[in-house]
Structure 1
Amino acid sequence: MDAEHARCVDCSFLCLDCGHSWDGTYDIDITVDEYGHIAPVYYLDGRQSPRCPACENHEVRAIRRGRVQPARPHAT
């Protein structure tokens, strides 16, 4: 497996569980396995991340900044 370290600047993240979105700068270790599958692992302050700050879910998607907007409260 090949491993590469990259720096992600100004990323947006989207929680695949609750839909919450947020911005951040994370270190990324990218691993490519023998089949060519890419597996990024995100780190913030030396800890594996990101976790959704709203629901703590690990299933998040990194998206180019500006592609998602924070959710607005529903009108009642």
Structure 2
Amino acid sequence: MSEIAATTVHEAYAFACMRCGHGWEQAFEIEHHVDGSNNAFVIYKADGERVPSPLSTPTCTNCGGHVVRIMRAGRVSTVQQLLRNSASTRPAIEDIGAREGEAVAATVAPAGAGHHWHLSDLLHPFHRK
């Protein structure tokens, strides 16, 4: 098959697994080609490696599940930033308990600490009140 035309576009998507709640974002280089017989085909690349189309059968990078919601880029990172900001401005639970004269064992994780993202974390800011 001889190639006669190709264009490359860059797109990014946000993903949320409906099975485990993991959220992530990925940028892709999408190469649009037309072969010598005038048949169009597309090649997806992520981090320079050829990958299957993320739109046909997306796979969760955490649990391997295939029930994945695809959203426009920025959805996951926006929610993650909101959660980091709220964690850094919220006082620790033990500080609140100490002020009230109670012993409290649990604390809020500090900003930037490892956090397993759950679907409810990702979708919470979009719920109607």
Superposition TM-score, scaled by structure 1 size: 0.50
Instruction: Give the strand-richer structure, 1 or 2.
Output: 1
Higher relative contact order, chain-length normalized (CA < 8 Å, sep 6+) = 1
Instruction: Give the helix-richer structure, 1 or 2.
Output: 2
Superposition TM-score, scaled by structure 2 size: 0.33
Flag the structure with larger Rg. Answer: 2
